[in-house]
Structure 1
Amino acid sequence: MTVSAAHGPAPESGTGLDSGPAPEPGPVPDSGPVLAPSAARSTVWEPDGPYNLAGTIGSLQCGAFDPAFLKDQGAAWLAFRNDDGAATLRLEQRGSLRSARIHATAWGPGAAAALQSVPTLLGADDDWSHFDSPGYQATLPEIARKGRYLNPGLRLPSTGRMLDAVVRVILEQKVTGIEAKRAWRWLLTRHGDAAPQAPGAPNGLRLPPAPAQWRRVPSWDWHRAGVDAHRSDTILKAVAMASGLERLAGVRSSADVTAALRSVPGIGVWTAAEVLQRTHGCPDSISVGDYHLAAYVGAALTGQRTDDAGMLQLLKPWAGDRQRVVRMLYASGFRKPTYGPRLAPEDHRHR
């Protein structure tokens, strides 16, 4: 792979711890100063082999209205903080699937660090060569081979941003996706700062709250966001350990990261697995305890639903690549049969 960098105008569109659309969130209070415009920094990353930007980073977006991850005119816009400060990052794929070039442009005090993180963020460290070898492919079920055939450019992203991922996943605990997405959007719109200004950026791009901002969220705003006391308490416990959580980004052992995450009261095996998938691009991380996953894997591989124990047994032959296999099952287009009504969201905000 190659990376080149330049400064100039934005391109045109083209292990332990130490310490349906969502409803409108309403008026946004003053959440801090809007960062002054800064000069753009840019780089081009050329991945080895086939590459699909949208498929790779899609799992990082918390719904189509995620204020920290918006799409506009074929480009993805991300807002986040790093050690140097806030950054707005624009990503666009050019070229073909097999000769892709990812054009990245960043603004804000954290722009340089954001660009340095682009290859890792986009899956440069995610090596599929063994998975794609003919011998290994021969061991896979046909449906997983189909998924890889249809999606040769998919990789597992790695953000390294621990607290943002932990908060988002805690919001997803034991609720529907609609509820979790609405809560994330409401809280970021209400309590996150505006992202560093960037020409052409879509309206509403905002940074996830910093630890101090999460601590200042009043109880009634958690309630308005539809977040129960258990989840808000867990988030605040994680925020209290934010510096230790962020150090986990540099820990390579998924077992050590999982153990450290689970030392936070309220974080269990499901939450830890979901975080690892986003922050470390873990190829083996399986969301045991998920409301749908075990039944989906069972239906895809055997035609029959199963439980967590059954899912783990079915995936055992591909230990080390179980998350890759699951992603390929979904990528194949398979959908399990549904029976009865969907789980309905519960709205406690007006009780």
Structure 2
Amino acid sequence: MAIRRLIDLPHYDTIIRVPHHEITLPVTGDYHLGQTLSLLTMGRGNPCLRHNETQGQLTLNTPRGPVALAATRSGETLRVVVTGSAAEWIEPLLPGLFGLEDDLTGFAPEGRLGRIADELAGLRLPRLPAVFDRLVQIVLQQLIQFRDACRGWRLLVHRYGEEVPHSGGLYYAPTAETLAGLAVYQLMECDILPKHARVILTLAKQAAALERLWESGADPAARERLCEHLLRQPGVGPWTVGYLRGAGLGDADALVLGDYGHPHHVAYFFTGKERSDDDEMQQLLAPYAPHRYRVLSLLILGTPPPPRRGPRRASQRDRFR
């Protein structure tokens, strides 16, 4: 299934008017840039990420400073233009960031799931070289509708972030240092809930330590150290950490527990039941370890959810668009 064109990028080439690094990454097999970047989205108006089927622009705050990335898929290569103070630091981490190091070994589903996997064969799980920006985005999504989380993110970035020169409206997210200097009421002015604001401000003060724990994902044990640390923080639970693991840390086997819609969606696909719970979801996904988050992503992107009952709640399908 070809993902629909999300947004035109008329300013794509303007980002290279400033000093930059240009890197060409080899692409082998099926790979879809748009599908891959959709796993990092915060709505169509995300000021830090925009993409279509073959092009993408995104920004990151890293331990070495901010970077802006402009990527183009062409044939068997991915051309990436990198600007910013962390350009040299991030260069060896780009394959992980764009999902090119995602390992599908042993993933060969059959039947209906196999057909969906074939339709979305270009989907890869990104592994971000820095985690704080993504962690803020995920905290904002806790227990609220996705559109409200996206609105808070947009307002926060536009008020406290910085526009990338010559980019046509692409923004760097506010740095951890900037956020750590704010008060709860200042985040609330961006339509952010007080409980989310308090968690974000607490994590902002720990951002340097979080990035050291992550170590750009180079050490396989780093993900476990980071996640164990996060689970000890007030306001950070299994849902936040599971979502971060799958949609940020490149963990193909991540489980997102405590989500309103995931168990229903998984059960509806495998059994036809419209309602389920975390226990049944884990049972249904167990045969697909170590690719349980990959299966969840395929189901959310490639299959219809169960019929709605009552008021609409936050949808992971929305989070991928």
User: Shared topology, TM-score over 0.5?
Assistant: yes
Runs of at least 5 residues in structure 2 that lack an aligned partner in the other structure: 1-10, 315-321
What's 1:189 paired with?
A: 158
Shift of 1:190: 0.2
Shift of 1:245: 0.9
Counting matched residue pairs gives 298
Judged with a 3 Å threshold, the aligned counterparts in structure 2 of structure 1 residues 124 and 72 are, in CA distance, closer, same or farther, namely: closer
1: CA distance, partners of 2:176 / 2:290: 34
What's 1:91 paired with?
A: 71
What's 1:121 paired with?
A: 97
SS in 2 for 1:131: coil
2: CA distance, partners of 1:288 / 1:343: 16
Is 1:214 the counterpart of 2:183? The answer is: no
Shift of 1:59: 1.3
SS in 2 for 1:148: helix
Matching of residues 248-287 of structure 1 within 5 Å: 248-250=213-215, 251-253=219-221, 254-287=223-256
State which of 292, 310, 317 in structure 1 corresponds to 2:287.
317
Percentage of identical aligned residues: 26
The alignment yields a C-alpha RMSD, in angstroms, of 2.3
Q: Deviations over 1:22-67 (max 9, x none)?
A: xxxxxxxxxxxxxxx7412111111221111111111112111111
What's 1:327 paired with?
A: 297
Runs of at least 5 residues in structure 1 that lack an aligned partner in the other structure: 1-11, 15-36, 345-351
Shift of 1:83: 3.3
**Do the aligned residues in 2 keep the contact of 1:294 with 1:310 (CA within 8 Å)?**
yes
State which of 278, 282, 301 in structure 2 corresponds to 1:308.
278
What's 2:122 paired with?
A: 153
Q: Deviations over 1:193-220 (max 9, x none)?
A: 222x24xx232x1111112210233433
1: CA distance, partners of 2:161 / 2:53: 24
**Do the aligned residues in 1 keep the contact of 2:35 with 2:53 (CA within 8 Å)?**
no
2: CA distance, partners of 1:321 / 1:343: 26
Shift of 1:120: 1.0
List, as ranges, runs of 4+ consecutive aligned residues in structure 1 with deviation greater than 4 Å: none
What's 2:168 paired with?
A: 202
What's 2:191 paired with?
A: 226
**Letter of the 1:300 counterpart:** F
**Do the aligned residues in 1 keep the contact of 2:37 with 2:98 (CA within 8 Å)?**
yes
Is 1:294 the counterpart of 2:263? The answer is: yes
What's 1:22 paired with?
A: none
**Letter of the 1:249 counterpart:** W
**Do the aligned residues in 2 keep the contact of 1:147 with 1:331 (CA within 8 Å)?**
no
SS in 2 for 1:309: helix
What's 1:20 paired with?
A: none
What's 1:64 paired with?
A: 44
1: CA distance, partners of 2:300 / 2:184: 38
Q: Deviations over 1:274-327 (max 9, x none)?
A: 111233210111210011111111111110021111111111122221111112
2: CA distance, partners of 1:335 / 1:105: 37
TM-score for the superposition, normalised by structure 1: 0.79
Larger radius of gyration, structure 1 or 2?
1
State which of 148, 165, 169 in structure 2 corresponds to 1:179.
148
What's 2:202 paired with?
A: 237
Shift of 1:150: 0.3
2: CA distance, partners of 1:72 / 1:49: 20
2: CA distance, partners of 1:256 / 1:66: 29
Shift of 1:115: 3.0
1: CA distance, partners of 2:145 / 2:39: 16
Q: Deviations over 1:75-104 (max 9, x none)?
A: 211112223322111011112xxxx32110
TM-score for the superposition, normalised by structure 2: 0.86
Shift of 1:13: 5.4
**Letter of the 1:154 counterpart:** L
**Do the aligned residues in 2 keep the contact of 1:146 with 1:332 (CA within 8 Å)?**
no
Is 1:112 the counterpart of 2:88? The answer is: yes
**Do the aligned residues in 2 keep the contact of 1:89 with 1:111 (CA within 8 Å)?**
no
Judged with a 3 Å threshold, the aligned counterparts in structure 2 of structure 1 residues 13 and 219 are, in CA distance, closer, same or farther, namely: closer
**Letter of the 1:82 counterpart:** T
